[in-house]
A and B are shown apart, each in its own frame.
Chain A
């Protein structure tokens, strides 16, 4: 959450593959919350 991250890079192949999957699942969870909450109001 930094505005100016330093340029030191990390490298871990398993992590590089896992993170986008986890982020996608979190995004789907967020969308589910938004949809269910909105539907409960209607």
Chain B
């Protein structure tokens, strides 16, 4: 289980590069925001790699900020840009998420850590609660950003796949959206298990999520008219 984040990090950063290259070619706010979301995803899994080797409180804070708070929210905001036609709505949400991300960063930077020992042999997800002191605002923001991100990202992909299925058009993009929905749901379920006290599922769910979303993205862009 300890080596899974190595693979997750490689897959996620390759995926991020593919998305940013697509953004370079075609532009579109959704691609930029997905790229940022994947950067947070990769930072989270990279922090898991580092925390498996050595411990430092700011690495644990980066892991929590990027993995538990920001990834889903930024990916979901990217999906909003793709699906909502009135530009002012996704733009407003982008500002809101930007501000909440900044607030999360500040709250985490000042959050105290306990002197409880960190065991690098164990997963970060199994022991962070004993070390990182999270006040009510931080917990609220974590849950809000996760719920918002999961609903927009997974819900948006399900909605898109359903729309293509109903019209029987763009087969690859429909399948791509099914993979993206399943991939995005995977770490969301992992995070839910984590909150329920089963931290050991999180790392595997992140790897499965990154692989499925990458496959989904690759399938979805196959259908784009050249």
Chain B residues contacting A22 (CB-CB under 8 Å) are 178
Chain A residues contacting B143 (CB-CB under 8 Å) are 37-38, 40-41
Which of B59-67, B89-97, B100-108, B151-159 forms part of the interface with chain A?
A: B151-159
Dominant SS among interface residues on chain A: helix
Query: Is there a chain A Cβ closer than 8 Å to B18's Cβ?
Result: no
Chain A residues contacting B150 (CB-CB under 8 Å) are 30, 33-34
**Interface range for B:** 35 or more
Q: In angstroms, how far is the closest chain B Cβ from the Cβ of A18?
A: 10
**Contact pick for B185, options A5, A7, A11, A26, CB 8 Å:** A26
Q: In angstroms, how far is the closest chain A Cβ from the Cβ of B134?
A: 12
Query: Is there a chain A Cβ closer than 8 Å to B85's Cβ?
Result: yes
Q: Which residues in window 130-149 of B have CB below 8 A to A?
A: 139-140, 143, 146-147
Quick check: B189 and A19 within 8 Å, CB to CB? no
**Contact pick for B165, options A16, A33, A34, A40, CB 8 Å:** A16
The answer to whether A36 and B192 touch (CB under 8 A), given A2-B224, A22-B178, A30-B158, is yes
Q: Can you list 25 pairs linking A and B with CB atoms under 8 Å apart?
A: A1-B79, A1-B83, A1-B173, A2-B224, A5-B167, A5-B169, A6-B169, A6-B225, A15-B171, A19-B174, A20-B162, A23-B158, A23-B181, A26-B178, A26-B181, A29-B154, A29-B185, A29-B189, A30-B188, A33-B185, A33-B188, A34-B147, A34-B151, A37-B146, A38-B147
